[in-house]
Amino acid sequence: MKRKKMAEDEGTAELSCYMMKVIDDLMAGKKYPAVHTYISTLRSFIRFSGGRDVKLPMQEVFTPGRLKEYESWLMVQRKLSLNTVSTYMCTLQAVYNRWMPLGSGDYNPKLFDDVYTKVESHIKRALTEQQMKRLMYAEAVPISEEQKRILAYFVLMFLFRGMPFIDLAYLRKKDMKGDTIVYRRHKTGKQMTVHIPREAIPLINEFRDKTSQSPYLFPILDAGVCSAWELHRHYQDALHRFNKSLGKLMCLLLPGFKVSSYTARHTWATLAFYMGIPVGIICQSLGHSSVRVTETYLKPFENERIDKANRKLISSVRKCKWENTQSYNKL
């Protein structure tokens, strides 16, 4: 009843004001990735609508026609991917459900039926063993000191069992305890203990933050930033710069192969899967919340594994047929 009354009271709400209230709630709960998504969605819709000075009454925003126009603008004019379009639409859907809860008199359960709110599952490319080896031992390639640092971060993420870039960025000097790194995953809060491979030691020694002022192991985040939200924004900027620099570097080292910060994690998981390492071990290594998450993570590659086995079987049959033919000819 209280939520229904809230919807009635805010029936004349304006989108920007309403979403900023939601963003403030998310900020108070330290849900910074969600804050980033809501801010991006709001900015996008304001741009679509003509700019900051345009008032956006909720009743005019949440109509099938207006939402369809926005979707078309995202796809045709902005040329965004389907997953990005879905992110914006799902965010607006969450705002609508909060503003007009299920059971309210004016609630429209089919409002978002005609716009894209699904998630396209893309099989992300992982590096092969040979490609990863080339990156790990790329000393002979003439690259700048900054490019060496970018490459070192990528290789370290792989060596640290597919560590995400956000966890690498937030690693602190005190997290190194002898020959191990003990830290908590930024996404789940799960404690991780990673043995430091010998291949990682020279990279850590060369590219670690050597100043006494910074608590971070690597000079990725600004030690002077105190606010958690500002630090998250600083991380987002660092991630953007890293991926941009990594893309340029891979044009030299692996021409024609698109690589991002996620590729290191994806490569570790994929190579482990192909080696026959049990899913439960991969789950623990990646810090997933459950084996089910890992199975979903690896599911796209099961068919590749089966197809490879099928090719091996067919090759065996063909070889067997040839040997049998030779035997028959001798009779």
Rounded to whole angstroms, the Cα distance separating 27 from 232 reads 11
pLDDT in tens, the chain (331 residues): 444 444 444 456 899 999 999 999 999 998 999 999 999 999 999 999 988 778 899 999 999 999 999 999 999 999 999 999 999 999 999 999 999 998 888 899 999 999 999 876 555 678 999 999 999 988 767 899 999 999 999 999 999 999 999 999 999 999 999 999 999 999 888 999 999 999 999 999 999 999 989 999 999 998 888 888 999 999 999 999 999 999 999 999 999 888 999 999 999 998 998 888 998 999 999 998 888 888 777 766 666 667 777 778 888 887 775 555 555 455 4
The confidence score (pLDDT) of residue 324 equals 54
Distance CA 90, CA 96 (A): 10
Measured CA to CA, the distance from residue 195 to residue 302 in angstroms comes to: 29
Q: Supply the pLDDT for residue 291.
A: 86
- What pLDDT, on the 0 to 100 scale, is given for residue 6? 45
Domain residue spans of the chain: 2-99, 129-275
CATH code 1.10.150 for 2-99:
yes
The Cα-based distances of 254 to 190, 196, 283 in angstroms read: 34, 26, 29
What is the third-level CATH fold of 129-275? hpI Integrase; Chain A (1.10.443)
Q: Are the C-beta atoms of residues 270 and 301 closer than 8 Å to each other?
A: yes
What does the pLDDT read at residue 322?
A: 52
Concatenated DSSP letters for 5-18?
HHHHHTTT-BHHHH
Please count the other Cβ atoms lying within 10 Å of the Cβ belonging to residue 54: 12
Residue 26 makes CB contacts below 8 A (sequence gap 6+) with 32, 34, 35, 38
What residue has token string 């002979």? 140
Task: Provide the whole-model pTM.
Answer: 0.78
129-275 matches 2-99 in CATH topology:
no
DSSP letter for 142, please. Answer: -
- Strands laid side by side in the 191-195 sheet: 176-177, 180-184, 191-195
Which pLDDT does position 248 carry in this prediction?
95
Check residue 18 and give its pLDDT. Answer: 96
Question: Would you state the pLDDT for residue 141?
Answer: 74
Bridge partners for 262 per DSSP? none
